[in-house]
Chain A
């Protein structure tokens, strides 16, 4: 006899764990299945875990802003659960968005006003005072170090920035997923590791369960795809699901660099998260007084869409496998080193390479599917870590409304009320059936 659950969640990353947690709180008997050995060991482990509110849509801003409240109140969110590994910590450094041609900051500001996000406008002088080693020259447009224009002397200056005192990062993303797993377990949730899902079984257009690589079958009337960069592979396992999505997902390779802070600058304790569209980089502090430098994927950089299984197995060769490349190391570090001219750039690349589960418009798909009982929280596009706890609640609400209250979400989209900001979110915004959202920045900024 197959084991039975009310809901099976494929994936135990930072999105899969809170979905289980919220469903458990509603009385569902859940099982998370993950092929990795522990929670948060997928792309969550490689995440920069930055928590910031600037998005190009008001809905994006609202979702992120709601998320802040959960990170700020982490222990309560977890219902004070114990985790033998300790608790991840939210570092509320504040977040600075430099005004540049690389970001539609005017739109961001309008969204902040609409949602009620607290912010201050800083002029260059104020930024210099708060971030002493910064050079506020305008380096736009973004180029690569192989291009001689990269070394052109800048002549103009940026026009200040927008600072949000709320914002920062979680210091250990994998641990944060582990914490939520322990919280879910305390509410009756179960987790199964080293278990790869190879098939989604269905009958009469209704999901009935999953099959693992070793042949084990587990049954549930609800299955949720939270497979991160593998999401498209899982959607393809379920009958008609992939075909029924207008918005598709793919895995995009992304490198993040660790570069030491200049000796005379205590970035770890005094620095902010900074988003800098002028050089297409973002940065946040990391232990060891290090700058963690991510890329906003400018047009001039190569985009590598890869097979996630090959990538994680270290296959595909330089630029496609899970090793940093020297060219990208130089591109990201030198871009950042223009902004911080005293930044020392080591010869040996150090950092992480992981995958974004990218949707066609860089906005996630939080939705049901064309197969009854099959749901998905996918297409997180490198920017949904910060929203994970809210997404958990929203997905659990959506699943419950469809399964228990007979809601036809495709016809009458589920309306989700945010607990803290009180705003009502039309979850149809994240529909798999949507047309590509032209308002999107088509980048990690969502």
Chain B
């Protein structure tokens, strides 16, 4: 059984972003694993553990199962995105695939096509699943609910459309069904606007967009880092991957014409008064201005 996690190499949210040449950001800043993708990787690792522990995926022994459930991190990005794939592996992915491109900006159409092509290639190259009839197919694909740099929230839906798989985004709770080994169903909860929750029952294969709070990301320890160093990252190139395919050079290719900083100046203000006045004022700001409580 193959669990794929799509990960993106994005600017550190704490970095000072500088716009260059009108439509690019100065990329000498720190780039790292998209924070929502941390939930995705963590959930994949939890799922693998859960399936092994509960013997849900087959009647095989635990050791064999652990070989047969594989987590593969896939990323489309420039060569430095290898670091992000490595981060996902340090967090628990078994292998990695980097689809290399020279152009840092890729839209959700190209990204989804590339991810699909890489996932399909991986599934047809290797027989790692115990369920022979399903070997050409990924069992489940995790993504983050969006990438923090583009914030488009489209890639997972396009990926779903290309694969013809169901997609659930902004997932905050995820668990395999109690009869998973028989029905291959998972139960997921999403956060809806206004704070409501929707619950879905989905049959694999499917695509899950991980939202904030789905889990507490598992960060790697030094032994995890050492282990991940020894594992393989397969490098593909975007042009090779899409060559000759129907998607080669087709489909909309969006272009960034102008890039502007959203918040150029921060205007801090100080809250004065005694402790209880300050607390009241903070609550008011959080309610009325930030609208987070």
A residues near B, CB below 8 A?
151, 260, 314, 317-318, 321, 323-326, 334, 337-338, 341-350
Q: When the two chains form their complex, are residues B220 and A345 in contact, meaning their CB atoms are under 8 A apart? A: yes
From B15, B28, B29, B225, residue with most partner A Cβ within 10 Å: B225
Interface 9-mer from B32-40, B49-57, B109-117? B32-40
Contacts of B33 in A (CB 8 A): 347
The B21-48 residues at the A interface (CB cut-off 8 A) are 28-30, 32-33, 35, 38
CB distance from A404 to the nearest CB of B (A): 41
Point out the residue from B29, B38, B226 that lies within 8 Å of A347, measured CB to CB: B38
* B30, closest chain A residue (CB): A326
| Residues in chain A near residue B14, CB distance under 8 A | 323-324, 348-350
Q: Apart from A314-B16, A343-B222, list 18 A-B contacts with CB within 8 A.
A: A318-B30, A323-B30, A325-B30, A326-B32, A334-B225, A337-B221, A337-B225, A338-B222, A341-B222, A341-B223, A345-B225, A346-B217, A347-B38, A348-B13, A348-B14, A348-B32, A348-B35, A349-B14
A245 to chain B, nearest CB (A): 35
B219 is an interface residue with CB less than 8 A from chain A? yes
Q: B41's closest neighbor in chain A, by CB?
A: A347
User: What are the nearest 7 A-B pairs in CB distance?
Assistant: A344-B219, A337-B222, A326-B30, A346-B219, A347-B33, A347-B32, A318-B28
Question: Do B226 and A151 touch across chains, with their CB atoms under 8 A apart?
Answer: yes
User: What residues on A are CB-neighbors of B139 within 8 Å?
Assistant: none
A343 to B32, CA, bound (A): 19
Let me know if B87 and A347 touch, CB within 8 A: yes
Cβ contact within 8 Å between A344 and B221: yes
A317 to B229: give the CA distance in the assembly, Å.
Answer: 29
29 CB contacts below 8 A, A to B, read A260-B219, A314-B16, A317-B28, A318-B30, A323-B14, A323-B16, A323-B29, A323-B30, A324-B30, A326-B30, A334-B225, A337-B222, A337-B225, A341-B221, A341-B222, A343-B221, A343-B222, A344-B218, A344-B220, A344-B221, A345-B221, A346-B219, A347-B32, A347-B33, A347-B38, A347-B219, A348-B13, A349-B12, A349-B30
**Contact partners of B222 in chain A: CB under 8 A:** 334, 337-338, 341, 343, 345
- CB-defined contacts of A346 to chain B, threshold 8 Å: 217, 219
- Chain B: minimal CB distance from A351 (Å): 10
Name the A residues within 8 Å of B87 (CB-CB): 347
Chain A contact residues: helix, strand, loop or mixed: loop
Q: Check if B219 sits within 8 Å of A342, measured CB to CB.
A: no
A107 to chain B, nearest CB (A): 31
Most chain B CB within a 10 A radius of its CB, from A151, A318, A337, A347: A347
CB distance from B204 to the nearest CB of A (A): 28
Query: B186-229 vs A: 1/0 string, CB under 8 Å?
Result: 00000000000000000000000000000001111111011001
Instruction: Please name all residues of chain A whose beta carbon is closer than 8 Å to the beta carbon of B218 when the two chains form the complex.
Output: 344
A362 to B84, CA, bound (A): 38
Query: Which single residue of chain A is at the shortest CB-CB distance from B37?
Result: A347
Q: How far is the CA of A266 from the CA of B218 in the complex (A)?
A: 18
Which residues of B are found within 8 Å of A260, using beta-carbon distances? Answer: 219
Q: How large is the interface on B (under 10, 10 to 19, 20 to 34, 35 or more residues)?
A: 20 to 34
What residue of chain A has the Cβ atom nearest to residue B219's Cβ? A344
CB distance from A196 to the nearest CB of B (A): 20
- The answer to whether A348 and B12 touch (CB under 8 A), given A334-B225, A338-B222, A341-B222, is yes
Chain A residue with the shortest CB-CB distance to B84: A347
Roughly how many angstroms separate A151 CA and B222 CA in the complex, as a whole number? Answer: 9
Which of B81-140 touch A at CB < 8 Å? 87
Query: Considering the chains assembled together, what is the distance between the CA atoms of A245 and B225 in angstroms?
Result: 48
Residues from chain A with Cβ under 8 Å of B28 in the complex: 317-318
Q: Is the CB of A323 within 8 A of B221?
A: no
A345 near B219 with CB under 8 A, answer yes
Residues of A within 8 A of B29 (CB): 318, 323
Residue of B nearest to A317 (CB): B28
Shortest Cβ distance from B218 into A: residue: A344
CA distance A197 to B285 in the complex (A): 37
Give A260's nearest chain B residue, CB to CB.
B219
- Shortest B147–chain A CB gap in Å is 14
With a CB–CB cut-off of 8 A, which chain A residues contact B225?
334, 337, 345
- B76: shortest Cβ distance to chain A, in Å? 19
Residues of A within 8 A of B12 (CB): 326, 348-349
Residues in B neighbouring A343, C-beta threshold 8 A: 221-222
Kindly state the separation between the CA atoms of A158 and B15 in the bound complex, as whole angstroms.
Answer: 39
How far apart sit A346 and B30, CA to CA, in the bound complex (Å)?
14
Query: In the complex, what residues of B have CB within 8 A of residue A324's CB?
Result: 14, 30
Complex alpha-carbon distance, A197 and B225, angstroms? 49
| Residue numbers in A under 8 Å from B16 (CB-CB) | 314, 321, 323
The answer on a CB contact under 8 Å between A151 and B229 is: yes
Cβ–Cβ < 8 Å partners of A323 in chain B: 14-16, 29-30
Chain B residues with CB under 8 Å of A334's CB are 222, 225
Cα-based distance from A349 to B12 in the complex (angstroms): 9
In the complex, A342→B33 CA distance in Å? 21
Give the shortest distance, in Å, between A105 (CB) and chain B (any CB): 25
Give min CB distance, B212 to chain A, whole Å: 14
A348 to B225, CA, bound (A): 15
Complexed CA–CA distance, A341 and B226 (Å): 11
Residues of chain A with a CB closer than 8 A to B220's CB: 344-345
CA A26 to CA B155, docked complex, whole Å: 70
